[in-house]
Amino acid sequence: MDSNAKFIFDFIQNHPEYNEAIKSFCESLLSNETKSICKDDALRLYVNNDLTKQQYIDIRSTVNEIASDLLPSYYQIQLAKQDCYPPSESIIVSEVQVKIRLQDILDLTVSRILKMTSINTEESHKYTLILKWGCDGASSQATYKHSFSDPGFDDSSVFMCSFVPIKLYDVDTESVIWQNPATSSSRYCRPILFRFEKENERLTKECYNDIREQITSLEPFKINNNNTVDYKLHFTMVDTKICNDLTDNKSAMKCFICGANQLSMNKLDLINTKPPNEEHFGYGASSLHAWIRSFECILHIAYNLPFKSWSVRGDENKKIKEERKQQIQQDFRRELGLLVDFVKQGSGKTNDGNTARAFFTNYKISARITGINEQLIKRFYIILQTISSGYDVKHRII
């Protein structure tokens, strides 16, 4: 270990608040004998560790005392940030929304990806970038001292459209050039639209149709005269409400794919007469929602287990269900530290992905608390692990 690297490791030990911030840099220094890092690597260090401007300046001044110009200035980081933005003329700003032209943000995305890869540009190749996109609304946001000319808008609600790149591959050889290591991470999520308006059916259809129109007119990205990149976007970043709005499904208790409601779910002969609408398969299935909905399904069965009915009728059954629910909530909080099915102020319930995963991971405890068959919960767990594993799973019909 050279003296510079030893000093940096000693600095980490004495300043634990900067531990994560310069750990990756030190590893690079030891393995590659790096004398300085470029502005893009400095930006990665800055963003990955969620540093403030002052924290980065403190780290840089301390490190550069031993090895001058080892870390670039904060001004260089600002320049690196500018390289990550699309051209200013592609960003359309109004009083109520910010919108980026899809062609420009996609071209920027693929150009940034290509900087991290090495491809043979001398031969003629066609590449395809697969992406997922979607939209959603969020309410109960912080409000500020800002007035809108149209009283129908306010900053307490925001509607957002965004996309995530999945992988870049060679069409001819089917070899993967770049693969997103965390397709569900917000780090790789790129915005298309922000709008200060509460989510509703009209807004959802308006944004969906606008982006679909832009998708149909997309042009391939030209790497050079021999190589191009096409785009394939899949509308799968959606929840059930978005799907219901786009399919004109007026009831949340009705399947937007086959049209079956709760009353007909257990009537298998009737279900077989309801063919699915294959056009709606394109909306995909969220693995996160699968965890949460499966978790809530078992919870609701457990609540109604004493009277064995999916609907709660009569004051006596309502009382039994409420007591049963409170007991289950107390047991989960005591044994696993989970807040199960509690209402949060202004933001839904505590039933999130982490709670659902903890529920199924500890399936033996969950079965004992809920009174549901342990093997049933375990099988749910295996299925959910499989669909969220990220691997291509071969299946067979038994």
Q: What is the pLDDT of residues 158-171, one digit of tens each?
A: 999 999 999 999 99
Helix axes 74-83, 39-48, angle to 10 degrees: 90
Top pLDDT among 112 and 185 is at 112
Give pLDDT tens digits for 55-106: 999 888 888 777 677 888 999 999 999 988 988 899 999 988 999 999 999 9
Residue 286, pLDDT > 60, answer yes
Query: What's the mean pLDDT when you consider all of the chain?
Result: 85
Q: How is the chain split into domains, by residue range?
A: 3-83, 88-246, 287-387
Q: Is 64:71 a contact under the CB 8 Å cutoff?
A: yes
Q: Name the least confident of 6-10, 61-65, 193-197, 326-330.
A: 6-10
- What mean pLDDT is predicted for residues 195-222? 94
Q: Give the predicted TM-score (pTM) of the model.
A: 0.77
Q: Nearest to residue 71, comparing CAs of 83, 58, 81? A: 58
Distance CA 25, CA 9 (A): 11
Most confidently predicted of 255-259, 283-287, 337-341, 390-394 = 337-341
Assigned token pair, 172: 């001819």
Top pLDDT among 3 and 286 is at 286
Distance CA 236, CA 132 (A): 6
pLDDT value of residue 64: 77
Measured between alpha carbons, how far is residue 122 from residues 116, 119, 129, 224, 382 in Å? 18, 9, 20, 9, 47
pLDDT value of residue 275: 85
- What mean pLDDT is predicted for residues 192-196? 93
Distance CA 341, CA 348 (A): 10
pLDDT value of residue 366: 96
Give pLDDT tens digits for 233-274: 999 999 889 999 999 988 888 888 888 887 787 788 888 888
Phi and psi of 221, rounded to 5°?
A: -85, 130
Cβ count within 10 A of residue 275: 9
Q: Is 313:307 a contact under the CB 8 Å cutoff?
A: no
> What are the residues facing 179 on neighbouring strands?
167
